[in-house]
Amino acid sequence: MINPGLTKQTKIKLLMVFFFFIFLFFLITLRLYIIQVSQTKFFKDIATKQYSTEIKIMPPRAAIYDRQGKNNPLAINKEIVSAFILPHQMSDEENTLAFLKKHFKSTYKALKNDPGKKFLWVQRNVSEKTKKFILEKNIADINFINEIHRFYPYEELAQTIGITDIDNSGIAGVELQFNKILSGEASSLKIEKDARSKRMYFTNKLLSAGHKGSSINLTIDSKLQFLVNEEIKKAVDKYEAKAGCAIIINPTNGHILSMVNYPYLNPNDESKCNQKLLKNNIVSECYEFGSVLKVFSALAALEEAVTTTDEVINCEGKIAYIDKFKVENWKHVEKLTFAEVLKYSSNVGIAKIAKRLGSKQYDHLTKIGFNQSTGIEFPGERSGFVPHPKKWSRPTPIVLSFGYETNATLMQLAKAFSLIANDGIPVKPTLLLSQQQQKNEQLYKHETVEQIKNILESIGQRYKIDGYRIMGKTGTARISEKGGYSKSRHVYSFGGIVEKDDYKRVIITFIKEPKSPYLWAAQLTGPLFKNIAEKMILYDELSSYNV
């Protein structure tokens, strides 16, 4: 209560002061109401933007396993650290930009080209050395976040498994073929700064849920792959060749047990990742294979009954002219039975018989599958080429019989030999353990297939393994160049079959361009086949004992 002894003027002043504080209190109360009640969301969003942002994160990529399942992963995940900036929230923009311009030029350039960016990677998969360097420079605007990256335990499977890019998306091989299955769907996250470090960001709130991918089991046997790779490497190094390959397939169910390409890259070292070495030459490269294709000319001739295994054919020594076209045997041979024509690989002998087939030679090559992809679950498979009879030149039916003017992949060659190993029933090569083989009709009579297998067994005596039926055929071919064929560049192949009771395997070996041009497949890919077959048999026998 105001003192009555005060003057009127003093009373008025006191009342004014009183009402001023009442009004001030009212303003403060109103402001608090607006901040804490009326516009809570507005101010909360402003505060949140100071320490959080939104980002899309893919779930951990699903694993790839070999045929043994979870005991043998071929592609798994590991945690990495990545660095980023939030351009609209930089506290020391001048210093940060100067640092980026000097040490991370691509990031600096990206920011200058698009200054409106709200989020920008500085570097993905930062090494410990680089992280330590950034921390030592005390660049407060560069933050770190944990990510998931791919890791491959078996380098020798690089061209088959493939790799992922920095965003963990498949860009080659199985990783690319099954990318959607393995990757799943991204989640949207809000990430907030860790107040303790002021650098590390951690996930705080799930905005929209994605889903995990599904793992895949391949038919590949990783241990067998390692053993085969060792043999291919030895052969390539010994003969100073440009490349070497091998395939092992179970001809009864189409399972690819091993698929080796050498040389290969280290898929875990991005700094040394040569993209050219990512190409899987077994499915993505075509070759003229030469004499190994005589097997299928002979198969067609016997099936069409244009000859018999004991028919005697004059192979005319070293050189003969068929329809005025020069045909040369690799060595001097005179009269041979048709079985011996294949055994001793006479170009003249097989050409004379193939002439009787006419256009049916084309029919059989296409029926076997030499001009269409095998359908294996792998990106970039080539379909090969067999010229149609309407486009044949005079020499075409002759040279087709011993493996020229037709291109095929090693996978097609493996499928073709599987047809013989599987009693004339075709099989589809597969990399998926879950893939069920369809029932196919028998393309060639049992009697015809057995005749071919007996001839191949006579060749296989050179590479015999006790207790097993070994069958095979060599192939040596010149590489085509402008205007003809090279005299110094060759490819060498061997198609082999290993049998014992119900146990069947097809092995294809291949060597490209060894340093010496004076070699034959019998010296390279034949012995290579035997070395691989011996290791495979020993491994399979030991594995069966451990079951």
CATH number of 124's domain: 3.90.1310.10
237 and 303 belong to one structural domain? yes
- State residue 114's pLDDT score: 81
- Is 72 strand, coil or helix? strand
User: Same structural domain for residues 454 and 469?
Assistant: yes
Q: Verify that 492 and 371 share a domain, yes or no.
A: yes
* Residue 18, in any domain of the structure: no
Q: Are residues 442 and 344 in the same domain?
A: yes
**Residue 16 falls inside a structural domain:** no
Last residue of a domain, one of 153, 188, 217: 217
Residue 17 domain-assigned (yes or no): no
* pLDDT at residue number 546: 47
Same domain, 183 and 265: no
Residue 246 sits at the vertex; the CA angle it makes with 242 and 249, to the nearest 5 degrees, is: 165
Q: Are residues 171 and 253 in the same domain?
A: no
Show the tokens assigned to 151: 């890791």
- Torsion angle defined by CA atoms of residues 440, 445, 447 and 449, in that order, rounded to the nearest 10 degrees: -60
The last residue of one of the domains, among 172, 192, 217, is 217
Are 273 and 405 within one domain?
A: yes
Domain count, the chain: 2
Tell whether 377 is covered by a domain.
yes
pLDDT at 285: 96
Do 542 and 526 lie in a common domain? yes
For residue 132, the model assigns a pLDDT of 87
Q: Residue 414 and residue 430: Cα distance in Å, rounded? A: 12
> The tokens of 63 are what?
């694993």
- pLDDT of the chain along its 547 residues, tens only? 555 666 777 767 777 777 777 877 777 776 666 666 665 665 555 555 555 666 666 678 999 999 999 889 999 998 888 898 888 788 888 888 889 888 888 888 888 888 777 788 888 888 888 888 888 888 888 888 888 889 999 999 999 999 998 888 899 999 999 999 999 887 776 666 554 545 555 555 656 667 788 999 999 999 999 999 999 999 999 999 999 999 999 999 999 999 999 999 889 877 666 677 889 999 999 999 999 999 999 999 999 999 999 999 999 999 999 999 999 999 999 999 999 999 999 999 999 999 999 999 999 999 999 999 999 999 999 999 999 999 999 999 999 999 999 999 999 999 999 999 999 999 999 999 998 888 889 999 999 999 999 999 999 999 999 999 999 999 999 999 887 899 999 999 999 999 999 999 999 999 999 999 999 999 999 999 999 999 999 999 998 754 4
Q: Is residue 5 part of a domain?
A: no
Does residue 3 fall inside a structural domain?
Answer: no
Boundary-marking domain end, from 217, 235, 251: 217
Question: Are both 347 and 379 inside the same structural domain?
Answer: yes
pLDDT at 2: 53
Structure tokens at 524: 């390279």
Residue 19 lies in a domain: no
Domain range enclosing 68? 54-217
Q: Assess whether 209 and 284 both reside in one domain.
A: no
Q: How many CB atoms lie within 10 A of CB 67?
A: 16
Q: Are residues 243 and 311 in the same domain?
A: yes
Do 205 and 230 belong together in one domain? no
Can you give the length of the chain in residues? Answer: 547
CB 455 within 8 A of CB 420: no
Which domain CATH number covers 534? 3.40.710.10
Residue 34 forms part of a structural domain: no
Residue (of 108, 167, 109, 106) closest to 141 by Cα position:
108
Q: What is the per-residue pLDDT for 139?
A: 85
Closest C-alpha to 420, from 399, 442, 402, 437: 442
| pLDDT value, residue 312 | 97
